[in-house]
Amino acid sequence: MERDHEKRAAIADQFKEKIRRETRGERLRVYMPIILLLSLSVLFAVYDSRFFSPANITNLLYQMTIPLILATGITFVLLTGCIDLSLEGVMGLAGSSIALLILNTKNSNDFGAIGVLVPIAGCALIGAVTGLIHTKLRIASFIVTFAMGSITAGLAVLTYRGVPAVIKVGWANDLSVGSFWGVPYLTWIALGIFAAGCVLLYCTAFGCAVYAIGDNELAAKASGTHIDAVKTAVFAICACTSGIAGFISCVRLKIGQAAMGSDQLFPAITALVIGGVSLSGGKGGMLQTFVGVLIYTELQNFLTIIGVDAYYKKAVQGVIIIIAVAMTVSRSRKTISK
Amino acid sequence: MKHLGFKLAAIFVILVLLAAGTAAWAAESGEKWHLLISVHNLDSEFWAQEAAGAVLFAESRPDVEYTIQPSNGDDNTLLQGLKDFIAQHGKRSIAVFDPSSAANTVNIADICEEAGVYYSLTWHLAEGLRPEDYKYFVGLFSPDDEVSGYKTASHLLEAIGKKGNVVYLHGKIGEDSAARRYQGMKRALSECPDVKLVDYQVADWDQEKAMAITETWLATKGPIDGIIAANDTMALGAIEALKKAELNGKVPVTGTDGIQAAFDAIKGGDMLATIANDGYLLFGYAAAYAYAAATGQPHEKGAFYTNAVFVTKDNVEQVIADYIKGKPTFDFSDLKFPILSKREIK
């Protein structure tokens, strides 16, 4: 009897020790993305001094703009355990519509700020519709957003019918090249949206609900969280940030076409995963997103600077991403990786 | 009873009229040729131009009706669309394709040969496929990408006095057009030993990527004397990066394709030159060849390089007038007009 008791005590001790070890590992893993960012920065700077030249730092600030805006929006979606694949289509639709509503080469429209805000609001509405379809019709988010991405990409093409509009407004140029305290205006906009994202996630009941849903939807529901409303809002936020990213891209490129959204989803999601945001929801946050975006942008920029042969660049990039994700993703709760 | 007879007679007359009308309609629609225009999608200006070119041809013939099918670059979408089209129109179908991939041209050929449908292909062709070996395969048409790459690069190298540092924006790796344009650029470069290719990067035909790469080049590669881009969209991305560094117009940029924004950039002095691949001509005549074959008119069979328009500041106004403000007009009965040279298929 006593030996049984001792055995049980020994097992309990081992279990406690295991939990302690895992917790320690978890704590370390939280800091992993930051450690990775710092070590990559040092490594890149040592390898090539041009990496930290003032001109290239400005570049990095420009190049992180769109990924940061997109990543801020999609963080909310991933935290609830959903996914938004419509981001590229929505971005293309916003950019194409904005280019046609402000002064451009294709028509005589010149709606100024309204021409920018209405399409962005429209995107938020599209996001809300996506959220409603997902929650009310109970269709998996990946398929709803995939379909919505296809619809919005199609609509984007329809807006300009083959020949995209080139924007002619003077302020677009000022906005795309101007800076304040050495930081480009566009980056300030991205930082502003990121800050708003932080406030929303950390200082409001809505933010708590997002985490609660991602962690355990049933428990969140039982405790009175209005799941459908929160999820709808989350998709609206993501589509709204995609719309803003479309606007930024339009200002940068001076042209509004559906293709501006292409290849934007993968960097945004990769940045989040590298930063430690969990695809299964409930884990991660804005800091992780920010660090992930910085790592991804630095990596892209560095590979261009050192002139990795174009034929190897994608492979090298893929290998580095896998290493980065392996170092930063938490696996403690997972029994199976899907 | 008298009334009933009258009603029956009236119904009979109506039925006869309906039957005659339907028969006449059927006979008339049987006379028509149905042209399938298969392009990637319509969001790219060039692909939209291709579709419009085939429409120009269809509208020039009263006996041709057309359907545009975007494949979105997907092999299965294209094949399913083709099968549906043939099921609907049978041997009265003719087809012109910008194939979703080179490999898929084998499947296209199989389906069209089996159905007895005359077809033209543009741009891509699977290895071993030759128009001469197939009954219904009328021709392969494409501008010569190697020549385009060579001409634009040579023009830029001439403009910088055949010395200095240049960079190259590469299209999608693995695509034939990207590879041949790169070869053409290298040929031009080999004729100028004092020019150094400082770097080349893949920007996937994408403007945003091209802009980011050029920004990084300008910040880290020292003075750059010229930027050669494999297409206009990437050239425009490079120009936006140059504008930020206040170097637009000072560093010459060339592209290929001939999109409207590139013409505007040439007109404004930000871009040096491009080659308008002339999607109107390419698809218009590809359709004309398929139609000629189907209707038994004399035509040459084989693979051809088609004419392209070299655009610089000197002729940009004229090109805008012909291609942007208006649509070019072609005499589709002159089947020799679009051909630059015969292409050897290995």
Q: Which residue of B has its CA nearest to A159?
A: B43
Residue A205 is assigned to a structural domain of this protein: yes
Of A333-337, B129-133, B284-288, B299-303, the one with minimum mean pLDDT is: A333-337
Q: Per-residue b/e over B249-275, b at no fewer than 16 CB within 10 Å?
A: bebbbbbbbbbbbbbbbbeeebbbbbb
Q: How many beta-carbon pairs below 8 A join chains A and B?
A: 104
Residue A336 is assigned to a structural domain of this protein: no
- Residue span of the structural domain in which A234 resides: 34-328
- Are β-strands B339-342 and B302-306 bridged in parallel, bridged antiparallel, or unpaired? antiparallel
Segments of chain A with pLDDT less than 70: 1-2, 19, 22-26, 328-338
Q: Does A62 touch chain B (CB under 8 A)?
A: yes
A162–B49 C-beta distance less than 8 A = yes
* B44 contact residues in A (CB cutoff 8 A): 162, 259
Domains of chain B: 33-143+278-307+327-342 (3.40.50.2300), 145-276 (3.40.50.2300)
- Are β-strands B93-97 and B118-122 bridged in parallel, bridged antiparallel, or unpaired? parallel
pLDDT of residue B12: 64
Residue A24 is assigned to a structural domain of this protein: no
Residue A58 is assigned to a structural domain of this protein: yes
pLDDT of residue A326: 80
**pLDDT for residue B26 is more than 50:** no
pLDDT of residue B19: 57
∠ CA B308-B314-B316, nearest 5°, is 55
Q: Does A137 touch chain B (CB under 8 A)?
A: no
Tell me the three state secondary structure of residue B306. strand
Residue A156 is assigned to a structural domain of this protein: yes
Tell me the three state secondary structure of residue B66. strand
pLDDT of residue B138: 93
Please give the tally of structural domains in chain A: 1
Entry field: residues in chain A: 338
pLDDT (tens digit per residue) in A92-127: 999 999 999 998 888 888 888 999 999 999 999 999
Q: Are the C-beta atoms of B233 and B257 separated by less than 8 Å? A: yes
Structure tokens at A10: 């020994």
Q: Which of A56, A59, A253 is the closest to B208 by Cβ? A: A253
**pLDDT for residue B240 is more than 60:** yes
Q: Which helix (H) or strand (E) holds A289?
A: helix A286-305
pLDDT of residue A130: 95
pLDDT of residue A336: 42
pLDDT (tens digit per residue) in A179-214: 889 889 999 999 999 999 999 999 999 999 999 998
Structure tokens at A301: 């920029």
pLDDT of residue A23: 66
Q: Residue A125 maps to which CATH number?
A: 1.10.3470
Structure tokens at B131: 């128009």
Contacts 24+ apart (CB under 8 A), A129-138: A130/A84, A130/A86, A130/A235, A130/A239, A131/A228, A131/A231, A131/A232, A131/A233, A131/A234, A131/A235, A131/A236, A132/A228, A132/A232, A134/A82, A134/A231, A134/A232, A134/A235, A135/A227, A135/A228, A135/A231, A135/A232, A136/A228
Stretch B230-254: mean pLDDT: 94
Phi-psi region of B100 (alpha: psi -120 to 50; beta: other; left: phi over 0): alpha
pLDDT of residue A22: 65
pLDDT (tens digit per residue) in B218-237: 988 889 999 999 999 999 99
A166–B42 C-beta distance less than 8 A = no
Residue A28 is assigned to a structural domain of this protein: no
Stretch B180-204: mean pLDDT: 94
pLDDT of residue B30: 54
Q: Does A224 touch chain B (CB under 8 A)?
A: no
Structure tokens at B77: 């979408």
Tell me the three state secondary structure of residue B72. coil
pLDDT (tens digit per residue) in B152-171: 999 999 999 999 999 999 99
CA A118 to CA B94: how far, in whole Å?
A: 45
A313–B45 C-beta distance less than 8 A = no
Residue A176 is assigned to a structural domain of this protein: yes
Residue A65 is assigned to a structural domain of this protein: yes
**What pLDDT band is residue B97 in, cutting at 50, 70 and 90?**
very high
CA B18 to CA B1: how far, in whole Å?
A: 26
Q: Which of B170, B220, B259 is the closest to A305 by Cβ? A: B220
Stretch B67-78: mean pLDDT: 87
pLDDT of residue A335: 42
pLDDT of residue B1: 47
Residue with the bigger pLDDT between B174 and B116: it is B116
pLDDT of residue B4: 60
Q: Which of A156, A161, A252 is the closest to B240 by Cβ? A: A252
**What pLDDT band is residue B59 in, cutting at 50, 70 and 90?**
very high
CA B46 to CA A189: how far, in whole Å?
A: 34
Of A240-244, B16-20, B57-61, B65-69, the one with minimum mean pLDDT is: B16-20
* A301 contact residues in B (CB cutoff 8 A): 212, 216
